[in-house]
Amino acid sequence: MKRLFILGSLLVTALLSGQTQTDSIMLDPQKQLNAAQRLLSGNYASAVTVSAYAELLYNQPEADNGEIDVQRLVLLFGYRFDDRTQFVTEVELEHVNEVFVEQAFVNYNVGSNVSLRGGLMLVPMGIINEYHEPTTFNGTERPGVDNAIVPTTWRELGVGVSGRFNGLSLGYQAYVFNGFKSTTLDGAGGISGLLSGSSGLRGGRQKGVQSTIDSPTFSTKLDYYGLPGLRLGLSTYFGRTQAEDAVEMADGSDIGISMLGLDARYAYDRFTARGQFIYASLSDTEDYNALTGSNLGSALQGWYVEGAYNLLPAGKRQKLFAFARYENYDTHADTAGGLAENEAFNRTDITTGLTYHIAPGVVVKGDYQFRDNALDGSDVPDQLNFGIGVWF
């Protein structure tokens, strides 16, 4: 019994001492880290590191019942095998009753400018897919662009390299991943499509769950840090979707994807701003829609711009940002064959509100979203949102 008590005490001490030191209100985008990067940063007191973030949200659409939800609770664990080799895993509980592994990869530091990675990793496209901890972005909900166009949280199994050339103020990532799954057999023996006009590629995420692969996809990201307060990003993703063995020989069972992303973040004094543009060109969608009966577009496009200003004096521990974001995203930016563009899929959101950092790692948010689409006569309800977010 005494040995068990001593062992338990040592484990608790290791976990507590392994906590990463945090001030997640990082206004300078050049220094901002996400949860996994912070575990890899070396800011720990033991081999074991622990982190977590969570979001509790209240959404109130106009004229409808509101919804209160534990949107997500994410637990991160890291282990340092030696000075070069680390493991990071991220386990997410969504809506209390769903469990996912969001990341699980080994990082091997070859040298000062190169690290090798392998496992389940985030695809580096845009901003939010890599930096989605609730204290790192304004707005109770993540931008619509990073839901319908970039299917956040987008992660797949793969291998690759990452690093930074300080002399060039340039960070880089390059990975080979398995791709989206596009088709599957339904219960009646027919072929069903996982991709659609309304949600784009989102339904095809495999998330590391017994993923099928018949051709690799390629993903890259460059980040430039050369100007004070400014961070610029260029992302690419190329490849084809994956289909199960039973359907992969059918015409239209898979499609080609070429995706490009541009993003920018800026901070000066009490002002911050960010913007993002994503364009995806999809090939062979006419055959895909004929096979599956889907209405997938041949191009997806989305962008947003956002500005925020801290209303509290500079230097205070607490920060209160007033912000506004304008975004447009269209999952039918173009269509192929006889498929007509659905104007309801061309959506515009204007979000304005407050983000109150009451302590490093704790944020309270409130905003109102004016939502619309390009379809004549369409009535999209506006929405009021409140949320509490933590990250430690």
Q: Where are the domains of the chain?
A: 2-391
The percentage of the chain sitting over the pLDDT mark of 90, rounded to a whole number, equals 78
Q: What is the pLDDT of residue 43?
A: 64
Listed residue (335, 337, 338) closest to 296, CA to CA: 335
Tell me: pLDDT of 9 over 70. no
State whether the Cα torsion 237-251-205-369 is positive or negative.
Answer: positive
**Cβ neighbours of residue 226 under 8 Å, at least 6 residues apart?**
168, 169, 170
Q: What is the pLDDT of residue 190?
A: 81
Strand order in the sheet with 191-193: 191-193, 181-185, 242-243
Q: What is the pLDDT of residue 169?
A: 94
Give the pLDDT confidence of 219-261 residue by residue, as tens digits.
999 999 999 999 999 999 999 999 988 888 889 999 999 999 9
Residues 49, 50, 55: CA angle, nearest 5 degrees: 150
**Cβ neighbours of residue 306 under 8 Å, at least 6 residues apart?**
138, 273, 274, 275, 323, 324, 325, 326
Q: Which fold has domain 2-391?
A: Porin (2.40.160)
For residue 44, name the pLDDT band (cuts at 50, 70, 90). low
> Does pTM top 0.85 for this prediction?
yes
d(CA 162, CA 316): 35
d(CA 258, CA 21): 39
**Cβ neighbours of residue 231 under 8 Å, at least 6 residues apart?**
29, 30, 32, 223, 224, 225, 264, 265, 266
Give the HSE-up count for residue 375: Cα atoms under 13 Å, Cβ half-sphere.
15
For residue 133, name the pLDDT band (cuts at 50, 70, 90). very high
Give the pLDDT confidence of 342-368 residue by residue, as tens digits.
999 999 999 999 999 999 899 999 999
**Contact status, residue 208 vs residue 197, Cβ threshold 8 Å:** no
Residues 298, 278, 235: CA angle, nearest 5 degrees: 115
Quickly tell me which residue has 């204007």 as its tokens: 350
